[in-house]
Structure 1
Amino acid sequence: MSVSLSTNIEAKVRERATAWLTNARDLLTAEGIDRESVLFVLWGEQHGFASFLLAAFIKRVYIILTASDLYVIRTKWLNCWRKIDSKRYNVTDLAAVKVRPGFLADTVRLAFHDGTTVKMVGVDKGAAEPLQRVAAEGIDVIAKS
């Protein structure tokens, strides 16, 4: 089964995902991700304790969805691609995606069946919709057109 996203969200997601993927070839290669297999990219920030005072606690979080796998990749905010932590899941490991709408951006919380949760802030409004559908409907492919 495939999902057809609204035209605005689909265009926005594809535009930003393409731009990010163009700039992240080394990261994708290091993680063993085939660039052509990427269907969706969601990103935001993960704030640690007192992050407003010390930016070293802020990590950029990328969720990369392929037809069969979902990658959670955390990179240090200030050190570009250094100190990368990543975890690979099968898309069926995604239990729930909760979105708390904000004024300018959303906060997204992903829950996996193994108990892992990932909180992302500063996510573009509406950008988590494909992942919400994956979690709710159990699909593993997002329509490319």
Structure 2
Amino acid sequence: MLIDIIRLLLDFGLVVLIWIIQRIVYPSFLHFNKENLVRWHRIYTSRFSAIVIPLMFGQLGISIYQVIANPNFYTVSSLVILILIWISTFAIFVPIHSIISNENSSKSDLVSLVNKNWLRTILWTLLFIYSFLEVMDF
């Protein structure tokens, strides 16, 4: 049961972070000129990475453990959702962040970042709700 609570806390932390990113951080990129955006983006990515990376690895590690220890619909489907989040992160968002860091971004890249990030926002929100319902035994 303790592992389920830890997983729920990780899911909650990531859902809060993704909503902050989606509603505040990414839209704010549109209000920077290119030089200031690049400077701020480099600071932002290193600071957020120090928070997000351990949470994501913790969430993934626990999810894999849960599948091994108790393979059921919840554990397998939540791992599938996590894998989709990881794939989208590396296939869609890392390249966009690289464009920004390399000073090649346009306004359409920044709008695309906000629009495409709804995918991760929705997936992490569904994952948290799913974990909450599972842990609370609804």
| Fold shared, TM-score > 0.5 on shorter chain | no
Greater relative contact order: 1 or 2 (C-alpha under 8 angstroms, separation 6 or more)? 2
Structure 1 or 2: more strand by fraction: 1
Higher Cα Rg, which structure: 2
> Aligning the two structures, in what range does the TM-score lie when normalised by the shorter sequence?
under 0.3
Between structures 1 and 2, the one with greater helix share? 2
